[in-house]
């Protein structure tokens, strides 16, 4: 999936399927499941690195995880997140996007914000860096929004989200993530914009959907309203690890099938003094 193919899917029937991934095994599974795009998101902070939120995540973290993902897959479009403050100035945006693409292997970058980040989007787009924008609830500024809550509920708040999405499209973004918005607002933005909208907690009318992998697989507690556990890989993993611990303690593992034979008589002739 190229950026051009992704963009051309606007309004073309089946929604685009996007998911986050941060390592090679899960990226391979996502590819085999046929996803259109993988986002190496700054959600890696919460999902994998044990942080409470996205703010401590650095460009070097995203680069490290993006490189693992891009080594593993060939089909899906891989997009890497520009983390907190990595695009506050246009020069930073250019330098950090280059790192994510050159060392991380990403085909595109994502950044959060509307008008305030439009100069970064415009500068990147002008230099051939494909940018996915992200408006509505923007986790990097969640403190400003009073936490992870639905955005754009009243008229002025809804208009602000529309303006943010339009500013990013005008600046050259090839797609925009709409996070935690009323479904009707997301539908209106989707109908108005010429670029694909990718929803997360923004209802069913977007051009595509994105979810955090660990939410889909049951690793996140509690389960958030806008997500669904499609398979409880967390419980499966815990049972497998408990079975391993129990078999080691009972000397059932390793069994003869997992053990190796040496030459007869060698053990008896070993010297330990």
Could you list the residues that contact ligand KIV (CB under 6 A)? 20, 39, 41-43, 81, 134, 177, 200, 210, 212
* Beta carbon of residue 156, minimum distance to ligand KIV (angstroms, whole number): 24
Residue sitting closest to ligand KIV (CB): 41
Q: How far is the CB of 138 from ligand KIV (least distance, A)?
A: 8
Question: Is the separation of the CB atoms in 99 and 109 below 8 Å?
Answer: no
Task: Give the integer Cα–Cα distance in Å for 236 and 217.
Answer: 10
Structure tokens at 116: 């305030």
Distance CA 185, CA 153 (A): 8
Q: What are phi and psi of 144, to 5 degrees?
A: -65, -35
Q: Does an H or E element contain 37, and which?
A: strand 37-40
Query: In the structure encoding, which two tokens stand for residue 44, read together?
Result: 């890696």
Pick the closer one to ligand KIV by CB: 154 or 222: 222
The continuous run of DSSP H or E covering 258 comes out as none
CB of 42 to ligand KIV, least distance (A): 5
Task: Tell me which DSSP letter residue 221 carries.
Answer: S
Distance, CA of 6 to CA of 68 (rounded, Å)? 22
Report in angstroms how near the CB of residue 81 gets to ligand KIV at its nearest.
5
Q: Which residue number, 81 or 207, has a Cβ lying nearer to ligand KIV? A: 81
Nearer to ligand KIV, 43 or 220 (CB): 43
- In terms of CB distance, is 85 or 240 closer to ligand KIV? 85
What are the residues facing 78 on neighbouring strands?
A: 38
Helices and strands (H, E) in the chain, number of each type = 10, 8
Q: Minimum CB separation from ligand KIV for residue 105, in Å? A: 18
**Beta strand 208-211 with 37-40: parallel, antiparallel or unpaired?**
unpaired
| Rounded-to-integer distance, Cα 19 and Cα 41, Å | 9
Tell how far CA 222 is from the center of its chain.
19
CB neighbour list of residue 58: distance below 8 Å, 6 or more residues apart:
83
Q: Which of 52, 179, 238, 257 is catalytic?
A: 179
Q: How far is the CB of 264 from ligand KIV (least distance, A)?
A: 57
Active-site residue flag, 179: yes
Q: Which residues are catalytic?
A: 179
């Amino acid at each position: 999936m190229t950026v051009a193919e992704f963009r051309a899917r606007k309004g073309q029937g089946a929604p685009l399927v996007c998911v986050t991934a941060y390592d090679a095994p899960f990226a391979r599974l996502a590819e085999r499941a046929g996803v259109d795009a993988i986002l190496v998101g700054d959600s890696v902070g919460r999902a994998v690195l044990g942080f409470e939120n996205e703010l401590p995540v650095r460009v070097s973290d995203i680069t490290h995880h993006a490189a693992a993902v891009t080594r593993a897959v060939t089909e899906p479009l891989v997009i890497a997140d520009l983390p907190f403050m990595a695009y506050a100035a246009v020069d930073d945006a250019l330098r950090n996007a280059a790192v994510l693409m050159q060392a991380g292997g990403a085909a595109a970058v994502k950044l959060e914000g509307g008008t305030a980040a439009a100069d970064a989007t415009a500068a990147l787009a002008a230099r051939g860096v494909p940018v996915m924008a992200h408006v509505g609830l923007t986790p990097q500024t969640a403190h400003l929004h009073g936490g992870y809550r639905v955005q754009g509920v009243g008229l002025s708040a809804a208009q602000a989200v529309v303006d943010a999405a339009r500013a990013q499209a005008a600046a050259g973004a090839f797609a925009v993530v709409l996070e935690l918005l009323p479904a009707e607002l997301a539908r209106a933005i989707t109908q108005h914009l010429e670029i694909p909208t990718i929803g997360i907690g923004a209802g069913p009318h977007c051009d595509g959907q994105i979810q955090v992998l660990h939410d889909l697989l049951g690793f996140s507690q509690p389960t958030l309203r806008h997500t669904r556990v499609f398979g409880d890989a967390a419980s499966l993993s815990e049972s497998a690890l408990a079975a391993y611990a129990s078999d080691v303690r009972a000397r059932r593992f390793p069994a003869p099938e997992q053990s190796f034979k040496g030459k007869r008589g060698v053990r008896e002739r070993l010297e330990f003094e």
